[in-house]
Structure 1
């Protein structure tokens, strides 16, 4: 489905029509003022955005915040579609992965080579990152960070109470989960939302090998999607869901993280934005919480790159301000501050490591080794691997599996159909 069709469909059929109409009203953005649509709204995220606002405003540009919470960006995307449909796009918006190409095809993104070329982005950025930020060879978005998705977050006190050890394999994980459950605590903190369900699913898929993951969830090869390894993936997912509490449906990810922070739950599968929540709560890695690669995924790395795309503006001042924003995003100062707060790692390799904690340094090292080994993979669950249409169809299958008695074989059949979504 073309993005324009998706825009029209969303605008016409959504139950939130009133809310959409409200975001279509002209925002009255003035000269030397940028309106940035984003979904960084949790504690650690909001703190990170505040730092970017400071840097931009120090350059004489006023920041007009357009924050849309919830849905891992789904709500923000809906709002953005409505604004573009009304001919009133924000100055910049948080979009990423294949969605950048989809918006580029609609002819609404602005060329920011004037910031990228003097900033030597092609030299600084890994090719996998720079290619994602370009449309038809020109930069249209600025990368903010790199997140590792395949992390397992652990409260060591909960493990200690349960008499369990830090798991590195699935048998060890299920042993720890059993002991935590017997101790009267929740083994796996989770939010029953489609993107969170998909996060666990893709992590399990990765544990069966980066090659399998790439064939199934990036290239969408039918043989990988329907074979015994995918059935094994759903079998493991089915076992994991037995350790999730009954109140999980609809829970936001940061509330699940808080369960681990507060000792109500032992473990959580989540990208390293979760670390921002631990840090905001004053917790210390290695002492108050553990960050370890998800079971059987230590030699692989699924990434999620946040980015800010620029939308075409008629006002020359707005165009100038976009370049100021893009340059600020790529500055070593912001890359360091933002990623220290957010839990992610800088896209620039020249940012000093001295202030980064053990989790971040492990992420940097693991990304470099995975890139070298060919096991660095884009996250399907976080909009880096497939089109939004295919991702949405896969989400539906995975969430149905998580909330029903669907068998692994039925799930595999449905997932293969989802991969053919246009």
Structure 2
């Protein structure tokens, strides 16, 4: 909150309509990989069928850091886009600053309170009012694997992080890269989060939602960092700066055995013509089969002037929750619909597993917001965790004990 508020101190809250065409929506997002681009083009097509103009504002970058920088710049100039891909606590930050428009009329007509799971609808609201529309629910704690590489290596899919080390040694000895990974802070945090999740929901909640100093400094957290550094030994030397979808292609092409990544990775397999259960397999990240870390992609709506543009914005929100878009988008993206009671007929086994796990974990307390993907904590806290985690991952001399102390201090300073 502090970081966003400080960066927007000088904002003039009068927002000018920068469009000259009636019924235009400018949409800022970072869906730029093959599967993602195909997904967002579905929504663009639906808007054009409604007679509106879609102005695409795509900013590449898997976790949206670059897109958020651009959004802040636009907001400071008094010219934010009509809609932007925002999620988690960041929605609340923008709402607190008075930028977001009320979508309650659209939500009421579409029965959003009925068709959305409560954990999703709560995330879309600011002070009890809808300000954003969810496009999907991602499961983050997935392991994607190439079964042919495992067969050639004589290895088995690991179900614990201890077993991961054993199987990764076999894969490495067979001449393959055990773990496809991209050396970017958000990818490091995604891997770190999956390792921490093995310690259980209580530990995860205490560390990343409660931000407990005791938990952040605990022996369990030291062990998480210790395992994290061991896993670092199973990525290839060219990982630094690699985009997540390039890492996914290593698994697709049989150069690497596994990737720890959210189910947007499945969109890349789909785009490459690969079939779940045949060309690739999906399993919960080691030790996390009973848990579901979620990342909800959403489009928040910013205040705009002009009745035509406001109507286009309302239509955009409505279309996002309609079954046609929810099905087509999520089939392309690899995620599951945010909307309940959707037909499962066209979804594959990985999606069915995700749907089942989402419903089961929501009743057991094991449905958890992803820290790595901006769902659990403020952008300030998330940034502090990113810095410590990625510096540790790349510093061979830093001990787990030192890392834990740095983590606790950084989180405390960012609260």
Q: Same fold (TM over 0.5)?
A: yes
Map 1:342-421; keep pairs closer than 5 Å. Answer: 342-404=333-395, 405-420=397-412, 421=414
Q: Contact 2:139–2:293 at 8 Å: present in 1 too?
A: yes
RMSD: 1.5
1:318–1:173: structure 2 CA closer, same or farther, 3 Å change rule?
A: same
Is residue 2:256 matched to residue 1:265? yes
Q: Give a deviation string over 1:76-110, Cα, whole Å, max 9, x none.
A: 00010000000001010000000000000110100
Map 1:223-242; keep pairs closer than 5 Å. Answer: 223-242=214-233
Aligned twin of 1:39? 30
Deviation at residue 171 of structure 1 after TM alignment: 2.7
Deviation at residue 322 of structure 1 after TM alignment: 1.0
Q: Contact 1:37–1:93 at 8 Å: present in 2 too?
A: yes
Q: Give a deviation string over 1:174-205, Cα, whole Å, max 9, x none.
A: 12111110011111100000000000001111
Is residue 2:296 matched to residue 1:339? no
Match of 2:77 among 86, 93, 96: 86
Q: Contact 1:29–1:35 at 8 Å: present in 2 too?
A: no
Map 1:311-330; keep pairs closer than 5 Å. Answer: 311-330=302-321
Match of 2:276 among 278, 285, 301: 285
Deviation at residue 4 of structure 1 after TM alignment: 2.8
Aligned twin of 2:6? 5
TM-score by length of 2: 0.96
Whole-angstrom CA distance in 2 between matches of 1:216 and 1:183: 37
1:156–1:89: structure 2 CA closer, same or farther, 3 Å change rule?
A: same
Q: Contact 2:155–2:171 at 8 Å: present in 1 too?
A: yes
Whole-angstrom CA distance in 2 between matches of 1:6 and 1:96: 18
| Aligned residue pair count | 409
Tell which deviates more after alignment, 122-131 or 169-178: 169-178
Is residue 2:60 matched to residue 1:100? no
Deviation at residue 172 of structure 1 after TM alignment: 2.3
Q: Contact 1:146–1:344 at 8 Å: present in 2 too?
A: yes
Match of 2:211 among 210, 220, 235: 220
Aligned twin of 1:21? none
Tell which deviates more after alignment, 147-156 or 64-73: 64-73
Deviation at residue 25 of structure 1 after TM alignment: 12
Q: Contact 2:23–2:310 at 8 Å: present in 1 too?
A: no
- Moved segments of 4+, more than 4 Å: 24-27
Whole-angstrom CA distance in 2 between matches of 1:308 and 1:255: 26
TM-score by length of 1: 0.95
SS at match of 1:275: helix
Q: Contact 2:216–2:407 at 8 Å: present in 1 too?
A: yes
Whole-angstrom CA distance in 1 between matches of 2:158 and 2:257: 12
Deviation at residue 209 of structure 1 after TM alignment: 0.4
1:192–1:59: structure 2 CA closer, same or farther, 3 Å change rule?
A: same
Whole-angstrom CA distance in 1 between matches of 2:296 and 2:326: 13
Is residue 2:111 matched to residue 1:111? no
Deviation at residue 57 of structure 1 after TM alignment: 1.0
1:273–1:71: structure 2 CA closer, same or farther, 3 Å change rule?
A: closer
Q: Contact 2:3–2:379 at 8 Å: present in 1 too?
A: no
Deviation at residue 26 of structure 1 after TM alignment: 8.5
Aligned twin of 1:73? 64
Deviation at residue 6 of structure 1 after TM alignment: 2.8
Whole-angstrom CA distance in 2 between matches of 1:70 and 1:133: 23
Whole-angstrom CA distance in 2 between matches of 1:170 and 1:199: 15
Aligned twin of 2:49? 58
Q: Give a deviation string over 1:235-289, Cα, whole Å, max 9, x none.
A: 1101100001111110000000000000111110000000000010000111100
Deviation at residue 75 of structure 1 after TM alignment: 0.6
Aligned twin of 2:289? 298
Deviation at residue 218 of structure 1 after TM alignment: 1.1
Whole-angstrom CA distance in 2 between matches of 1:176 and 1:314: 58
Unmatched runs of 5 consecutive residues or more in structure 2: none
